Amino acid sequence: MVAIVKERREPGLTLKRVPVPRELGPHDVLVKVKRASICGTDLHIYDWDKWSQERIRPPQIGGHEFTGEVVDIGGEVSSVSVGDSVVSETHIPCQKCLQCKTGKMHICKDMEILGVHRDGVFAEYVRVPEVVLWKVDPSIPLEYASIMEPFGNAIHTALVTDLTGKNVLITGAGPIGVMAVAVAKVSGAAQVIVTEIKEFRKGLARKMGADTIIDPRKEDVPSRVRSITEENGADVFLEMSGNSTAFEQGLRSLTNGGVVSLLGVFPGDVSFDINGLFTFKGLTMYGITGRKMFETWQVATQLLKNKRIDLSPVVTHILPAERFEEGFDAMKKGISGKVVLEF
């Protein structure tokens, strides 16, 4: 089969032919990949940064976001059948630890991640354990199904608290940030404010329904937020940028008693006035990783199946797999939303 592989401990990926993973354990499923989308994590692996060097063991197939069709199942698989359309959770839980046993598989203590700890989905076929698969409604277009994993990040981040009538601030208008705009709007937010410096991404935020877009290079974010919230500040702050300055600006923009939902991954330690900006303001902060298994997937399915959210502005590139380099280049230049590869 054709696959996109991290062959060596250096920047770049290679398109090559590799064996189909046909040997299935009793709970394994073989899926024919129809669409796979590129994530920021894949870009880290492509660039071979410090994070990647510490985790990836070449040669290894990349990718973790995909949709496809079940073509073979292990002898004890019972939740999916050959012919089913499926999407997949990225986090592979051990199913034995305390977290897994108490309804928190998404933060399993001993989890593996597709495309990081084992071969990923940038290939014509992928072998995954039954536990991570979710049957997807065939009415959902393949391009949208392939990004249900990051869409789930947006849902999980936004819905840690009730957004009805709330002023919501989102820092960072990357693909997950702009999907969170739509989630906040459909969930009843009074207004959604976005901070972003890249013009292309400002455009995506507008298309997804942002009410106000602030360029932090040109305006003081806390002052502008207060001016459009009757001097109260934002009620809810969704941090999507992984930028420490944006994080501090968001905290300064929050009203006392506000809620912080933290998805952005920072490159290093973050320092801020925890007394003045957190404790004395009485804030509540949630750390977000992954998606709730499988509560978030059910919400994502219903929003897409019933056309409550349109993801078409987010999917900016659909490319055949052999043109994957174009997709990574667009991401590096900041001129893309989600890049979807066809296998």
Pick from 254, 263, 264: nearest CA to 284:
254
The residue with tokens 């809620």 is 259
DSSP per position, 220-288: -HHHHHHHTTTTS-EEEEEE-S--HHHHHHHHHHEEEEEEEEE-PPPSS-----HIIIIITTT-EEEE-
Pick from 206, 201, 168: nearest CA to 187:
168
What is the third-level CATH fold of 2-147+311-342? Quinone Oxidoreductase; Chain A, domain 1 (3.90.180)
Neighbours of 151 (CB within 10 A): 31
Do 145 and 88 meet the contact criterion of CB atoms below 8 Å apart?
no
The residue with tokens 């990574």 is 328
**Which residues are part of the catalytic machinery?**
41, 44
Structure tokens, 137: 């409604």
Structure tokens, 109: 């203590």
Q: Rounded to two decimals, what is the model's pTM?
A: 0.96
Report d(CA 250, CA 298) in Å as an integer.
30
| C-alpha distances in Å from residue 55, one per residue of 46, 115, 117, 201, 273 | 13, 10, 7, 30, 32
Structure tokens, 84: 């089913």
Answer yes or no: CATH 3.40.50.720 is held by domain 155-287. Answer: yes
Neighbours of 302 (CB within 10 A): 12
Pick from 242, 243, 225: nearest CA to 234:
225
Report d(CA 56, CA 116) in Å as an integer.
6
Do 181 and 208 meet the contact criterion of CB atoms below 8 Å apart?
yes
Report d(CA 341, CA 33) in Å as an integer.
10
Q: What is the pLDDT of residue 267?
A: 86
Tell whether omega for the bond before 247 is within 30 degrees of 0, i.e. cis.
Answer: no
- The DSSP H or E segment spanning 112 is strand 112-113
Do 315 and 143 meet the contact criterion of CB atoms below 8 Å apart?
yes
SS3 68: strand
Do 171 and 237 meet the contact criterion of CB atoms below 8 Å apart?
yes
- pLDDT less than 50: residues of the chain: none
Report d(CA 208, CA 7) in Å as an integer.
38
**Rounded to an integer, what is the distance from CA 93 to the centroid of its chain?**
18
Do 100 and 108 meet the contact criterion of CB atoms below 8 Å apart?
yes
Residue 59 CB burial class (10 angstroms; 0-12, 13-18, ≥19): middle
Residue 320 CB burial class (10 angstroms; 0-12, 13-18, ≥19): exposed
Do 237 and 277 meet the contact criterion of CB atoms below 8 Å apart?
no
Domain spans, the chain: 2-147+311-342, 155-287
